[in-house]
Amino acid sequence: MPTTDPGVDQSLTTIGFILAGHIGSTLARALVTRGYDVVLSNSRGPETLSGLVAGLGPNARAATSEEAAGAADIAVVTIPLRAIGSVPVEPLAGKVVIDTNNYYPQRDGRIAPLEDESTTTAELLQAHLPTSKVVKAFNHIRFGDILDDARPAGTPGSRS
């Protein structure tokens, strides 16, 4: 189902989520309300997402990370940084990939190039996905604010 938002590129209708934690599931909820189809994945398997998918409605489905990446017009990678190697490469070739990652050494372990500031988290993901177009977004927003502060384009308080 194409999006009904007139400010949205109508050819980009499916957003694939590589892991659906707090940011991913909240962003998916915001997107389905605007007419996008979402394909969600996590590290435990599609069957563990049945409650989330049911709550999102008919524009949502669960899949493996590989399937979500393949179905995506645009992908959102919202993983712990230590799991960057699990992001499927081939199905994301040539696609825009939104990187929401943050580096937390206590969670991810120490990553030397990040510690010495010779690279960034987005550059690490771009190196892993050499033929994708990685952009950084949603990494410094509290997940609840994605829905709380959302406004339709052109309304008071929106940024468009």
Token digits for 28?
């998916």
* pLDDT of the residue at 143: 52
* pLDDT of the residue at 57: 94
Burial class (CB in 10 A: 0-12, 13-18, 19+), 34: middle
* pLDDT of the residue at 39: 97
Q: pLDDT tens digits, residue range 99-156?
A: 998 888 998 999 999 999 999 999 999 999 999 999 998 666 655 555 555 555 566 6
* pLDDT of the residue at 38: 96
Output helix, strand, coil percentages for the chain, rounded to the nearest 5. Answer: 40, 15, 50
* pLDDT of the residue at 119: 93
Residue 16's contacts (CB-CB under 8 Å, 6 or more residues apart) are 38, 39, 41, 63, 68, 69, 70, 71, 72, 74, 75, 76
* pLDDT of the residue at 41: 95
Residue 24: pLDDT band with limits 50, 70, 90: confident
Residue 2 near residue 12, CB atoms below 8 Å: no
Q: b or e along 47-59 (b: 16 or more beta carbons within 10 Å of the residue's beta carbon)?
A: eebeebbeebeeb
Q: pLDDT tens digits, residue range 27-86?
A: 899 889 888 999 999 989 999 999 999 999 999 999 999 999 999 999 999 888 889 999
User: What CA dihedral angle connects 95, 35, 145 and 81, to 10 degrees?
Assistant: -30
What are the φ/ψ torsions at residue 18 (nearest 5 degrees)? -90, 95
Confidence check: pLDDT of 157 > 70? no
Residue 132 near residue 94, CB atoms below 8 Å: yes
Is the domain covering 14-148 a CATH 3.60.21.10 domain? no
Confidence check: pLDDT of 11 > 70? no
Q: What is the pTM of this model?
A: 0.80
**Helix (H/G/I), strand (E/B), else coil: 15:** strand
* pLDDT of the residue at 34: 85
Q: What is the mean pLDDT of residues 82-96?
A: 95
Confidence check: pLDDT of 5 > 70? no
